[in-house]
Structure 1
């Protein structure tokens, strides 16, 4: 195993999330304060009672001062991190490990992005990287290659592939329409989405996640201290992170139908959490649906569907809100929106609501003793050159692994 398990050593005891969208009337300071104050209130803590902070932002700040200034923190360590679209998850991962190792009793991870009125959009906008990761193709163009490659490899007719992709978007818009914090709250039918003109390969605008402003945050403590702050903590069962080496972009054998970093990070997370049958043990999943064909491939990489079959399961409604395994019950990136630094923590926030039974009734999932775990998956980068984060969370505390 790449990382030692910290199963049940750390608990999330407070969370908050702003509405995602075009916040023309708010700056980054207001978004940070909104998410942070929700989080402090949910844990019953004051900002000065948090021992250390981690800030995740891709392009809205360059240091911990970006967080310390609006919160008025005094003599607190604040670490700014960035890891593509997995930036929010990276902030949480570091805060969790800091508590697990005993460095701090309490820690907060906050992810934020303010892009809509910043004059630029998307990754690699500012500054242009000098490490070879700069792209001449936009993200939509890179991920558009997944759809025809998948269809060709598995013999999926073009119309069937188009409808499966549209079904992903329609599902997530249905869920987002029931989420007051989502950027897009309008249902869209499969036929409506199929009628949209293509903008990149076979992808239409409705196959692409929206760019948004927003923030989300979490407070973590040692598991044995969790009930000092909440009656319903969420225990960290697994954290797994893999950074690819970009080999897929130069490997002639790479065919754009799989994401190796995702599969490997999922395997490690399942081993840490003791998950042997993901489809049977996971009650809900938040996944990185940056583009509709991405979600289809992720169902296979995460072990929710056999290779070459996820498109059928999508069409059959297996991942709907009332399906066998609800995926993106909050609307996902597609409908909730995608502020780069906040998305990973937004996924955690949905798990926080769902597993505590606090989601709105119209989208509250059901859990059982056999299916009582939530999975959150967050990626960054492109097919062939990707970072991947997988976490597993649960409400029941088991004996920690030494």
Structure 2
């Protein structure tokens, strides 16, 4: 049994993304309308041109009717999906497969979340019944375990590891300060980040992603039809989704220095896209920096750094805007914000801007040689999660 993938079978021809932030005067419906309208205008389409929709949301609606009522759709299929923090990516993946199958000509993947309306931070869900083996940790506590584990495994003292994760937050705030759609739009000094109030273990407030409202959307068509809509489509080179067995917290060999689901997800994605050296071949990567130690570990799990070497690469600026491989040039979850259902599509939106040369000049990266972008989204906790990776590029199949 094998996964054959849909490399170069579908393309993105239009995208939209609202600003992320505390939209107290905007509803989920308002945000959906804005993202939908921008994506349609980008592709030069009308609402009736979309054949089917995939809606990603975790807590802002419980069926496709959220979108259908909002957009006054004319009896079109709307599928609501949810997969923890990878919800927006799941909407995109399913829309892509529907188009690749030939069942749908034009599909929209759209995600939204109104976390601020809930009054809670993080995931908006009730805990389902379980067998008692689930680890009862908050997200900062669970991901905070990555920091001391990494330091212990690779011989870093606490001060040096704190320097590293502080540098990650500083980078993402630097990038977000150059992004008009980001939730946090100011550079933050290293000392302010390092000394921010503690949340869990080594993690301070400034090590945690923003809790925000927002929406993002993508329009997908068959690759052979892409140039009918735009002269700069993005072709989908790989889609990989992995769900782990959830045994990490119970496995004595699981040491919190690597997220196994991400490693397997990356292996699948690179094989599908034909990537042998991701750091050398990718123009940019948008990764799931829910907490700063997560980004550190992801640099190794995604193959951007050798094992035990990512901390040096971070301090050397390898993942800065002008580095070897810019990571989170839009500010990432840390600075752009993290409305659960929209984040995966927001990552694709940054690839859409950067690879097509339309990102703001102050944070635009060089894509004249490298033509590929990667998005990575995960949901759950280390050792018990799902992982998604997409690879998109500007060049069609040879």
TM-score class, shorter-chain normalisation, is: over 0.9
User: Residue deviations 1:93-135, cap 9 Å, x none?
Assistant: 0000000010100000001001102233322x43332356975
Q: Which runs of 5+ in 1 are unaligned?
A: none
The alignment yields a C-alpha RMSD, in angstroms, of 1.2
The yes-or-no answer on 1:387 pairing with 2:386 is yes
Post-superposition shift, 1:51? 0.5
1:126 corresponds in structure 2 to 125
Post-superposition shift, 1:177? 0.3
Counterpart Cα distance in 2 of 1:160 and 1:142: 21
Deviates more, 1:245-254 or 1:280-289: 245-254
2:143 corresponds in structure 1 to 143
Deviates more, 1:132-141 or 1:1-10: 132-141
User: Residue deviations 1:40-68, cap 9 Å, x none?
Assistant: 10011111110100000011111000111
CA contact under 8 A between 1:128 and 1:134: conserved in structure 2? no
2:3 corresponds in structure 1 to 3
Deviates more, 1:114-123 or 1:284-293: 114-123
User: Residue deviations 1:198-246, cap 9 Å, x none?
Assistant: 2101000000001100000000000000011111000000000000110
1:282 corresponds in structure 2 to 282
The yes-or-no answer on 1:207 pairing with 2:207 is yes
Counterpart Cα distance in 1 of 2:119 and 2:335: 23
Counterpart Cα distance in 1 of 2:265 and 2:127: 28
Counterpart Cα distance in 2 of 1:368 and 1:74: 42
Counterpart Cα distance in 2 of 1:19 and 1:130: 36
CA contact under 8 A between 2:176 and 2:335: conserved in structure 1? yes
Secondary structure of the equivalent of 2:14? strand
Secondary structure of the equivalent of 1:218? strand
Q: Which residues of 2 match residues 142-291 of structure 1 at below 5 A?
A: 142-291=142-291
Counterpart Cα distance in 1 of 2:116 and 2:69: 22
1:375 corresponds in structure 2 to 374
Q: Which runs of 5+ in 2 are unaligned?
A: none
Secondary structure of the equivalent of 2:119? coil
1:362 corresponds in structure 2 to 362
Counterpart Cα distance in 1 of 2:135 and 2:348: 29
Post-superposition shift, 1:2? 4.5
Residues 332 and 367 (structure 1 numbering): CA distance in 2 closer, same or farther, change over 3 Å?
same
Post-superposition shift, 1:295? 0.2
Post-superposition shift, 1:197? 2.8
Counterpart Cα distance in 2 of 1:192 and 1:211: 19
Counterpart Cα distance in 2 of 1:380 and 1:41: 31
The yes-or-no answer on 1:345 pairing with 2:332 is no
Counterpart Cα distance in 1 of 2:101 and 2:230: 22
CA contact under 8 A between 2:135 and 2:249: conserved in structure 1? no
Deviates more, 1:193-202 or 1:217-226: 193-202
Secondary structure of the equivalent of 1:85? coil
Counterpart Cα distance in 1 of 2:299 and 2:392: 18
Counterpart Cα distance in 1 of 2:182 and 2:30: 18
Deviates more, 1:190-199 or 1:288-297: 190-199
Counterpart Cα distance in 1 of 2:185 and 2:368: 29
CA contact under 8 A between 2:54 and 2:78: conserved in structure 1? yes
User: Residue deviations 1:73-107, cap 9 Å, x none?
Assistant: 01100000000000000000000000001010000
Counterpart Cα distance in 2 of 1:75 and 1:4: 33
Q: Which residues of 2 match residues 36-185 of structure 1 at below 5 A?
A: 36-123=36-123, 125-131=124-130, 136-185=136-185
CA contact under 8 A between 1:2 and 1:268: conserved in structure 2? no
Secondary structure of the equivalent of 2:218? strand
CA contact under 8 A between 1:283 and 1:373: conserved in structure 2? yes
Counterpart Cα distance in 1 of 2:128 and 2:377: 21
Residues 2 and 189 (structure 1 numbering): CA distance in 2 closer, same or farther, change over 3 Å?
farther
**Aligned length, in residue pairs:** 397
Counterpart Cα distance in 2 of 1:211 and 1:2: 38
User: Residue deviations 1:165-192, cap 9 Å, x none?
Assistant: 0000000000000000000011012222
Post-superposition shift, 1:13? 0.2
Post-superposition shift, 1:269? 0.5
CA contact under 8 A between 1:283 and 1:372: conserved in structure 2? yes
Counterpart Cα distance in 2 of 1:163 and 1:388: 27
The yes-or-no answer on 1:398 pairing with 2:381 is no
Q: Which residues of 2 match residues 4-19 of structure 1 at below 5 A?
A: 4-19=4-19
Post-superposition shift, 1:8? 0.7
